Amino acid sequence: MAKKMIIVVPYHSDWPMIFEREVVKIKEALGANCIAIHHVGSTSVPGLSAKQVIDMIGVVKNPEEVI
């Protein structure tokens, strides 16, 4: 199995904006089924170094309706 390199970078002030931009797209896709979308993980903590991956958790009314 090949090893995968993980790169951790200093906090970037654009991460919250990137999250909000993606939230708009997700809410549009989920429609009325969307209850909330949360920014989680290291990129959600101001000042914390992190992998450059915006982690999110979506909360929906009916998971069976999510494609």
14: left (phi over 0), alpha (psi -120 to 50) or beta: alpha
The C-alpha angle 36, 40, 44, rounded to 5 degrees, equals 115
Q: What is the pLDDT of residues 16-38, one digit of tens each?
A: 999 999 999 999 999 999 999 99
What is the pLDDT averaged over residues 26-52? 97
Maximum CA extent, the chain: 43
The structure's pTM equals 0.86
The C-alpha angle 29, 31, 34, rounded to 5 degrees, equals 100
Question: How do the domains of the chain map onto residue ranges?
Answer: 15-65
* Residue 1 pLDDT: 82
Both tokens assigned to 18? 């990137």
